[in-house]
Amino acid sequence: MSNDTKSPLLSWLDERYQVSPLIEFLRHKEVPIGAHSMAWYFLGGATLFFFMVQIVTGVLLLMYYQPGEATSWESLRYIMTKVPFGWLVRSFHCWSAHLMIICLVAHMFSTMLLKAYRPPRELTWVTGYVLFAVALGFGFSGYLLPWNELSYFATVVGTDSVKSVPVVGNWLLEVMRGGPDVTINTLYRFFALHVIILPLACFALVGIHLLFIQRQGMAAPVGECHAPRGMKFFPSFAVRDLLLWLACLFLLVALSTVAPYGPNIPGMEWELGSKANPLAPAYPGIKPEWYFLWIYQLLKEFPPHLLGLEGPQLCLLLVSVLMGAWAAVPWMDRQARRNQPSPGFSDFGFAAILFISYLTLKAWDIGAVGNDVDAPASVASVARTCAWWELGLGGAIIAIRYTVYEHRWFLFSGAALLHAGLHGLAGIGYLAAGLVAMLPVVAGVVMIYRAQSRGEETAGA
Amino acid sequence: MGWLASVLYPVGRYLTPLPETGPTGPVNLTRGEIGKLEQDGFVIVPVVGKRVLVLEDSEGDIRALSARCTHEGCTVQYVADDSLIWCACHNAKFDLEGGVISGPPPKPLPRFYGERRDDGSVVINVVEQA
């Protein structure tokens, strides 16, 4: 940009801070338009918008919220009943938290399915993965702050899992809780985590994540090193992003005013309820936030002891292995590293959606009969009803993938559906059904690996 | 490495909570707690940082057990009609000795000493019984 065409303000800034290269960079920046919809590129921006709403509403809540045994619940009740528009601020905070997680999950799965993690963007995936963990930490630590019965017991269950960590589990549990049990000391620690530690970590990680994206640009579709067409980031993409933010704001206002205490779905409700009483027994129906429901349900599926370990320990081990595998996908997906389609990993992503959705449906007790959802007849009915839902959902996904996207790799998602069918319809135990469903996967993967190895040898010869 | 240890060790020690203090010997239930025991058939009391379930069984005997479910730490309750201890979080059931009847808990509930004295007072001791 020549000095003649610059505005006086820009010239003034440029003289002092040399902003011209940055403006030139943004002027030439393009978003690739390729084989897939552009809609996926906007999910990260929507997540960022809801995060900013979290910061603003969180600061507003801090003006009145007082952490303490005799003040946490009371100050929140004061915010909701006495402070003008206090109920709206809290409703905004809660709704935007859930919408942020929904956008984040969709963003993560779209990145996974579009293989946007392939080189050179591995670290963008890793920072996004850590940001997802931080967002879950926000949800978990914020859940306790109202100090009501539901949040108290959800935190008791959620933190107790930490003791299953080998060697340092019990120490970690005490550090987390500020003592052997969940007390007001736990709330003080969670408060510090929620309003200081996690926001600082989040700002740093978001900064790094955005820096990587700006430096490397958005990923082009697989097979295209350089997208054939591009959209100018400024102003075309940025204006669209702003319009989406406006739509998100409208949605947030509508939801917060129509349903200020949530949609009344287990794991997505924030009525203040009764004040926490650590000496009152737990009551039925205590469930964590919806994004932790699959782990909650998985904990229920494990027997007390298995393979020489306690059920919760084994469950935590399985979840850790799955999460570790998810983080390592950019390095495991060798075909995507060569910029080739990797249908197996796409199917792995869809199978993860099916695996999590079946457990979540079960945790919602869909199909329960009678008042006692834990009675054997009710448990069987829930497993059966959820299996039908799962088969319907999975069948629809496979049909769309087969006809619209011409996918032909269904080994993992087929196994997830077989698992649900064996457990829900044939009445086999959840873990046993999972083991049976894994057998064709193992056999299939071995066969494909051998066929690929033979193909490479033949090509080499 | 030494520098890192000199930073992390004090931080770790600072974050590690101090052990709970309080009477380690037998503890008498308060008048309010006894009233609740008689009204509901059970009461949960804090003793040296532990949640203790004190219940009166169908024969009038006092029993004291840990109120913390061995599965995920929820607070259990006494169901007098079925003569069992129940955890609502994951539908775990224990007998009055603390043994697991059904559900996912990997261990029985620890038992403590509990007794009703002639003067009507209830005394418990959180030294675990075999």
Q: Which residues of B touch A182 (CB under 8 A)?
A: 73
In-domain check, residue B10: no
Beta-bridge partners for B85: B78, B94
Of A94, A147, A65, A72, which Cα lies nearest the Cα of A289?
A94
In-domain check, residue A16: no
State the residue for tokens 């902003």. Answer: A19
Q: The CATH number of the domain where B67 resides is what?
A: 2.102.10.10
ipTM, 2 dp: 0.85
Q: If you write DSSP's letter for every residue of A355-386 in order, what string do you get?
A: HHHHHHHHHTTTT--SS-TTSHHHHHHHHHHH
Q: Three-class SS of residue A302? A: coil
In-domain check, residue A6: no
Burial A242-279, CB ≥16 within 10 A → b, else e: eebbeebeeebeebbeeebebeeebbbbbebeebbebe
Length of chain A: 461
Domain identity same for A377 and A258 = no
Q: Three-class SS of residue A350? A: helix
Quickly state the pLDDT bin for B99 (edges 50, 70, 90): very high
* CA-to-CA dists, residue B5 to A136, B8, B10, B11, angstroms: 29, 5, 9, 10
In-domain check, residue B1: no
**Of B16, B76, B107, Cβ closest to residue A174:** B16
Domain identity same for A57 and A171 = yes
Beta-bridge partners for A229: A33
Q: Three-class SS of residue A65? A: coil
DSSP H or E segment with residue A214: helix A198-216
Positions of chain A with pLDDT under 50:
1
pLDDT at position A373 is 79
Asked if A299 is an interface residue toward chain B (Cβ–Cβ < 8 A), one would say yes
Q: Which residues of A touch B37 (CB under 8 A)?
A: none
In-domain check, residue B14: no
B85 vs B51: CA distance, rounded Å: 14
Of A136, A104, A131, A133, which Cα lies nearest the Cα of A208?
A131
Q: Is B87's CB within 8 Å of A284's CB?
A: no
Domain identity same for A151 and A274 = yes
pLDDT at position A234 is 82
Whether B130 has a pLDDT exceeding 80, the answer reads: no
**Of B71, B77, B88, Cβ closest to residue A312:** B71
Q: Mean of the pLDDT values across residues B58-81?
A: 91
A384-426 pLDDT, tens digit per residue, is: 999 999 999 999 999 999 999 888 999 999 999 999 999 999 9
CB within 8 Å of A294: residues ≥ 6 apart: A355, A356, A359, A360, A363
Domain identity same for A140 and A263 = yes
Last residue of a domain, which of A260, A278, A296?
Answer: A278
Count of other CB atoms within 10 angstroms of residue A120: 10
Domain identity same for A350 and A216 = no
Helix %, strand %, coil % of chain A (to 5): 70, 5, 25
B104 vs A429: CA distance, rounded Å: 14
Burial (CB count <10 Å: 0-12, 13-18, 19+), residue A427: exposed
pLDDT at position B108 is 94
Domain identity same for A251 and A370 = no
In-domain check, residue A333: no
Q: The CATH number of the domain where A33 resides is what?
A: 1.20.810.10
Q: Which residues of B touch A154 (CB under 8 A)?
A: none
Residue of B nearest to A299 (CA): B104
Domain identity same for A129 and A268 = yes
In-domain check, residue A5: no
Domain identity same for A141 and A239 = yes
The tally of domains found in chain B comes to 1
In-domain check, residue A7: no
Q: What value does the mean pLDDT of chain B take?
A: 89
In-domain check, residue A309: no
Domain identity same for A375 and A461 = yes
Beta-bridge partners for B68: B75
In-domain check, residue B116: yes
Q: Which residues of A touch B51 (CB under 8 A)?
A: 181, 278-279
Residue ranges making up the domain that contains A427: 342-461
A433 vs A109: CA distance, rounded Å: 26
In A77-96, the residues whose Cβ lies within 8 Å of chain B are none
In-domain check, residue A399: yes
Last residue of a domain, which of A261, A278, A295?
Answer: A278
pLDDT at position A5 is 67
Residue ranges making up the domain that contains B46: 20-129
Burial (CB count <10 Å: 0-12, 13-18, 19+), residue B50: middle
Domain identity same for A366 and A235 = no
Q: Which residues of B touch A300 (CB under 8 A)?
A: 90, 104
**Of B15, B75, B100, Cβ closest to residue A281:** B75
Q: Are A295 and A282 in contact (CB under 8 A)?
A: no
Q: Three-class SS of residue A2? A: coil
pLDDT at position B25 is 73
Q: What is the dihedral of CA A41, A43, A48, A52, to 10 degrees?
A: 140
**Of B44, B100, B106, Cβ closest to residue A310:** B106
A226-235 pLDDT, tens digit per residue, is: 556 778 888 8
Structure tokens at A130: 């850590």
Residue of A nearest to B21 (CA): A179
State the residue for tokens 């057998």. Answer: A439
DSSP β-ladder status, B84-87 and B77-79: antiparallel
**Of A161, A180, A284, Cβ closest to residue B88:** A284
Q: Are B62 and B116 in contact (CB under 8 A)?
A: yes
Q: Is B77's CB within 8 Å of A299's CB?
A: no
In-domain check, residue A310: no
Burial (CB count <10 Å: 0-12, 13-18, 19+), residue A406: exposed
